[in-house]
Amino acid sequence: EIVMTQSPATLSVSPGERATLSCRASQSFSSNLAWYQQKPGQAPRLLIYGASTRATDIPARFSGSGSGTEFTLTISSLQSEDFAVYYCQQYYNWPYTFGQGTKLEIK
């Protein structure tokens, strides 16, 4: 099983600033990596797939990068609606596994 580790657990950033979230995999794979956003009381929403492709209707301020074992989600200029929990997930091998999440909070 591929273990996904996200860091930091909590990230405090001011609106308008840049946020960088990290995700590390225990085994290397190419680009089968997705990022999801989850707000309190809501279902997860797909942001990024293929490590760097934005999903439909996702704003350009969200970008993903990385391959192998190191992946990054960058939010270039934080808006109030971006404060949420973010999960990475590998879909390279079964069982598909998620990171434990990074909570992005307002500083």
Partner 1 sequence: EVQLVESGGGLVQPGGSLRLSCAASGFTFSSYEMNWVRQAPGKGLAWVSYITSGGGTIYYADSVKGRFTISRDNARNSLYLQMNSLRAEDTAIYYCARASRETSGYFPHYHYSYYMDVWGKGTTVTVSS
Q: Which residues are at the interface with partner 1 (CB under 8 A)? A: 30-32, 34, 36, 38, 42-46, 49-50, 55, 87, 89, 91-92, 94-101
Cβ-contact 25, 71 below 8 angstroms: yes
Q: Residue 96 CB, nearest distance to partner 1 (Å)?
A: 5
Strand 53-54, strand 10-13: pairing: unpaired
**Among 95, 100, 78, 94, which residue's Cα sits nearest to residue 22?**
100
In the complex with partner 1, the residue whose CB is nearer, 32 or 76, is 32
In the complex with partner 1, the residue whose CB is nearer, 63 or 92, is 92
Q: What is the CA radius of gyration of the chain?
A: 13
Q: Residue 107 CB, nearest distance to partner 1 (Å)?
A: 23
Q: Environment class of residue 81 by beta-carbon count within 10 Å: exposed (0-12), middle (13-18) or buried (19+)?
A: exposed
Q: Residue 6 CB, nearest distance to partner 1 (Å)?
A: 9
In the complex with partner 1, the residue whose CB is nearer, 57 or 77, is 57
